[in-house]
Amino acid sequence: MEILDERFDLDSIAKVRAQLSGYAVSCGMSEQDRYKLVLAASEIMANAVLHGGGSGRITVNRLADRLHLEIRDTGRGIPRRHLGDRPPPRPGRIGSQGLWMARQICERVDIRTGPGGTTVRLTFAVSTDG
């Protein structure tokens, strides 16, 4: 079931975050899991805005006990050096942490990237309170 399909840019990320959080509430997700879900999505959306052409599209689907978020942009693609498993960011470093953080939070992170844009798919287990 598709629950969210929105274009976003710098001015609308906050609105999309609120929509995503509201859906997570309707799924009965715990406050901690809602926070993690929105944090991971926010990081990837920010990357799309900053490095992927200034805007993107997020699509969210729920399949059984998993949420699948696809965040797409039309930028030049992610450089290879940013794709593999990477060590944790150095303390005090700003930037270059979004993908690393999403990998720590999500059950799975899949990336398709190339000169026509990038699609990041985040898979998140839906656990409910009580």
- Residues 49-96 have pLDDT tens digits of 999 999 999 999 888 889 999 999 999 998 887 776 666 767 766 666
For 13-27, write each residue's pLDDT tens digit: 999 999 999 988 888
**Other C-beta atoms lying within 10 Å of the C-beta of residue 33:** 20
> What is the SS3 assignment for 125?
strand
Amino acid in the structure at residue 37: L
Does 1 have pLDDT greater than 70? no
Tokens 């729920």, residue located: 62
| pTM, full prediction | 0.88
Sorted by where each begins, the domain ranges of the chain are 2-81+100-125
pLDDT reported for residue 86: 67
Q: Are 69 and 23 within 8 A, CB to CB?
A: no
What percent of the chain clears pLDDT 70, i.e. is strictly above it? 88
Task: Decide which of 3.30.70.20, 3.30.565.10, 3.40.50.2300, 3.20.20.60 is the CATH code for 2-81+100-125.
Answer: 3.30.565.10
Which stretch of DSSP H or E encloses residue 39?
helix 31-51
What angle separates helix 31-51 from helix 13-26, to the nearest 10 degrees? 150
pLDDT reported for residue 11: 96
